[in-house]
Structure 1
Amino acid sequence: MCLYVDDIIFTRNDELMFAKFKKSMMFEFDMTNLGRMRYFLGIEVMQRLDGIFISQKKYAKEVLERFSMDKANPIHNPMVLGFKLTKNVDGVRIDNTFYKQIVRSLMYLTITRPDVLFLVSLINRFMDCPTKLHFQVAKRILRYLKGTIDFGVLQEKKEVRN
């Protein structure tokens, strides 16, 4: 069971226990059964025959629009091979508030995008004094998201054998 403010999600592996729990919750609280989960806290959920697929396609599109990257050319590699990101004290400084907004938005996307987790945590290190170079790396991640907007995480259904 997962509870967030006034939303509750529960799942089961025992159909009878699930029905009892649902009945007791509906008796105790004014609840509406919305059926299978499709969307929760910006995460899209698709329950398929092969498992559960979660993504943040809608949120990623909103992030791209927010930072004016929705018209940017998509790429399929989030970082240049062999590139090393450093503090770059001699670099041209940029507005750290704007940079922080980008990094924070990307941090939330890592819930369903483990492919960018390393890079986002890398650019996160430079939030106190970002330079144009750090900003270019952040923009490259956004361009990568544009090119891979349909990516997400699939939790495959496993057959239980006795």
Structure 2
Amino acid sequence: MRRYDFNQSNADHTLFLKHQQGKVTSPIIYVDDMIITGDDTKEISRLQEQLAVEFEMKKLDGLKFFLGIEVTRSQREILLSQRKYVLTYWAEVGLLDCNPPDTPIVQNHKLSQHTNQVPTDKGRYKKLVGKLIYLLCTRPDIAYVVSVVSQFIHNPSEEHMDVVKQILRYLKASPGKGLMFSKNNHLNVEGYTDADWAWNVLDRKSTSRYFTFVEGI
């Protein structure tokens, strides 16, 4: 990519950028999967031809699926979701017939560690939480509760496992929920933040939350 005059991003080393004549071309590469986007159609076509000389390439149409993330688009909106990933996840843990709760964790929970806690399968707990972490790519609504259960990954109990299962049941209500990017008539950036002021029962630290909206909600 550098030989083709692309600059590697410092924020994400799988992302490359090329600016010329006021236009941008941006490929992102993960192992043998690639997305090429931008507003320079000539440069995109040239890059595809250059890569096809060196590698066996399969040219697909508009982006629909990438690393477990499904892409659905219309003229005004783009939706990123992980529906298939969630459905496969349920099949693995046997929760396809469960009833979904209204929230991923009970309100004002006091999840902590205790000397007399009942231990659970550490390997299984770690695997389930790891998959939930990847799901955060498109499900910020479970970001807080996943951060909570991640704190106990080295010494989980049955109580902690019950919360993980509640998250999984919660996801059943809307497996296709994701991030919606809509086309609006402005470029406003709005941010909101809050903290719970030392509510953590383990270390008395605060948990901060924030939302950032670009071009509206």
How does the TM-score come out when normalised to structure 1? 0.89
Structure 1 counterpart of 2:157, from 124, 131, 147: 131
1:154 aligns with 180
1:6 aligns with 32
Q: Which structure 1 segments of 5+ residues have no match?
A: none
**Equivalent residue letter for 2:144:** F
Contact kept, 8 Å, 1:69 with 1:143, in 2: the verdict is: yes
Structure 2 counterpart of 1:145, from 171, 175, 181: 171
> Whose radius of gyration is greater, 1 or 2?
2
SS at match of 1:11: strand
Instruction: Please say if 1:24 is aligned against 2:50.
Output: yes
Distance in 1 between the 2:126 and 2:87 partners? 18
**Equivalent residue letter for 1:133:** E
Deviation at 1:143, TM superposition (A): 0.6
Contact kept, 8 Å, 1:43 with 1:54, in 2: the verdict is: yes
1:58 aligns with 84
Distance in 2 between the 1:7 and 1:16 partners? 21
1:86 aligns with 112
Q: Which structure 2 segments of 5+ residues have no match?
A: 1-26, 188-217
Number of residue pairs aligned between Structure 1 and Structure 2:
161
Per mean C-alpha deviation after superposition, the further-off stretch among 130-139 and 87-96 is 87-96
Q: Report the aligned-residue RMSD.
A: 1.9
SS at match of 2:29: strand
Distance in 2 between the 1:18 and 1:157 partners? 23
Contact kept, 8 Å, 1:2 with 1:8, in 2: the verdict is: yes
Distance in 2 between the 1:26 and 1:95 partners? 48
Deviation at 1:118, TM superposition (A): 1.3
How does the TM-score come out when normalised to structure 2? 0.68
CA deviation profile, 1:104-143 (whole Å, cap 9, x unmatched): 1111111111111111111011011111110111111001
Contact kept, 8 Å, 1:56 with 1:152, in 2: the verdict is: yes
Deviation at 1:19, TM superposition (A): 3.0
2:140 aligns with 114
Instruction: Please say if 1:95 is aligned against 2:121.
Output: yes
Per mean C-alpha deviation after superposition, the further-off stretch among 136-145 and 3-12 is 3-12
Contact kept, 8 Å, 1:88 with 1:131, in 2: the verdict is: no
Deviation at 1:102, TM superposition (A): 1.1
2:94 aligns with 68
Structure of greater relative contact order (alpha carbons < 8 Å, 6+ residues apart): 1
Distance in 1 between the 2:93 and 2:81 partners? 20
Distance in 1 between the 2:103 and 2:76 partners? 28
Report the identity percentage. 34
Going by fraction, where is helix more abundant, 1 or 2? Answer: 1
SS at match of 1:84: coil
Contact kept, 8 Å, 1:103 with 1:138, in 2: the verdict is: yes
